[in-house]
Amino acid sequence: MWAICLGLWGQTLNLPNLEKELAAIGHIILYHQDTQLKDSLNRIFLQKWKDIFSYPEHFSYPFDSVVTVSDLCPPDSAFRILTWQIIDFSKEEHSYYGILVRRWRISEKSPWQVKVYELKAIPEPLEEEDIERRTLSPEEWVSALYYHPRHLSHGVLRYEATARIPRGSKIRKEKMHYYVLLGWNGYNRRRNYKVVETIFIDSRQPEKVFFGAPVLYVGVVPKMRILLPYPETTPLTLNYGWYVKKPGSRKHYPAIIVDHLSRSIRKSRMSEDPRPFYGADGSYDAIEYWKGKSIEGRKGILVYRRGVTPYDPEMERYTPSALRKPNRQSAPKETSHGKAQR
């Protein structure tokens, strides 16, 4: 079986055939029990993605059947990011891989150009000092399996901002676009984490991509990303949605909705990991885009709001009067003696 899979790589570049082969190898990489085999195939898998996307004309090919790979793109198609994982089932460890394909052109009449970046994961991101406030390159990736936010047509959120950017000896006020990704990492057998990652592109260096824009305001000092570690046994919600300012209100505001994390207290002295864990406590927070308001000269920022009430779109179809109407078919009939006839 492996000989057949590997032998097909030598054929002429044919995207439908390559898609079938990538789908088959992707399935092996995710589900096979032999980690050594998966690592070996993954090197081929990674290289073939890089080779395919080195051609600008391949940028928009869908690869829909490669279901083991997360494949996301923002509304302006400025880049395409693919991520996947390898699970060592015996050790219950997750490893993450990916590529980012940057696409740009100088003018509307000029040809498209592409540059493919391999995403190289930081081994222990939760142990890295000040990891949420560092701008990183694709070679220093806070690894995650990025997922498509619900209610959105595109898998990457795109926002416009105004910021002060150093240009030589001067600081200029410029407009920029940045992008937001939502991701999950299985990390280890005790902890997972979810991440709100930001990406930006310098207009004067269009081929370069940076992870970490200073636009996330949880406090006074902005963060480049937000890491949300939580116990393996406790789910955590992080997705796109809406919130209301007053419970019961139908006026809703778009935001990234996240479970509020609270510190769990461990009383046992026999705990394997003495560090505190954080888990969802039943309340919710929101990360909201502020287009007009500014902080420190920055406009178009993302602000963390605590204690919000999520909005459920099903409320639009909720009519209490309909619920109060008796169901005549199932309700018992009253007789003149007050007893029900069925």
Same domain membership, residue 40 and residue 152: no
Separation between Cα atoms, residue 194 and residue 226, nearest integer Å? 8
Same domain membership, residue 202 and residue 92: yes
Same domain membership, residue 59 and residue 204: no
Least confident window among 74-78, 286-290, 330-334: 330-334
pLDDT, tens only, 117-141:
999 999 999 999 999 999 999 999 9
Judge whether 196 and 226 are in contact, CB under 8 Å.
yes
What pTM does this model have? 0.85
Tell whether the model's pLDDT for residue 9 goes beyond 50.
no
Judge whether 44 and 7 are in contact, CB under 8 Å.
no
Q: Tell me, what's the pLDDT at 161?
A: 92
Q: Tell me, what's the pLDDT at 313?
A: 77
Most confident listed range (186-200, 263-277, 289-303) = 186-200
Q: Is residue 308 part of a domain?
A: yes
Q: Is residue 271 part of a domain?
A: no
Q: Which two tokens stand for residue 280?
A: 């969802």
Q: Tell me, what's the pLDDT at 247?
A: 85
Give the mean pLDDT of 28-50: 97
Same domain membership, residue 90 and residue 41: no
Tell whether the model's pLDDT for residue 293 goes beyond 90.
no
Same domain membership, residue 44 and residue 113: no
Separation between Cα atoms, residue 112 and residue 87, nearest integer Å? 36
Judge whether 284 and 258 are in contact, CB under 8 Å.
yes
Give the mean pLDDT of 200-217: 93
Residue 183 identity:
G
Q: Which two tokens stand for residue 81?
A: 């990011």
Tell whether the model's pLDDT for residue 202 goes beyond 80.
yes
Give the mean pLDDT of 19-43: 97
Q: Tell me, what's the pLDDT at 292?
A: 83
Q: Tell me, what's the pLDDT at 234?
A: 86
Residue 245 identity:
K
Q: Is residue 335 part of a domain?
A: no
Same domain membership, residue 97 and residue 42: no
Mean pLDDT, the chain, integer: 86
Total domain count, the chain: 2
Same domain membership, residue 95 and residue 199: yes
Give the mean pLDDT of 58-67: 97
Same domain membership, residue 116 and residue 51: no
Q: Tell me, what's the pLDDT at 224?
A: 96
Q: Is residue 272 part of a domain?
A: no
Q: Tell me, what's the pLDDT at 324?
A: 52
State the residue for tokens 């619900």. Answer: 150
Q: Tell me, what's the pLDDT at 18?
A: 96
pLDDT bucket at 1, cuts 50 / 70 / 90: very low
Q: Is residue 342 part of a domain?
A: no
Q: Which domain holds residue 46?
A: 1-68
Tell whether the model's pLDDT for residue 189 goes beyond 50.
yes
Most confident listed range (167-181, 214-228, 324-338) = 214-228
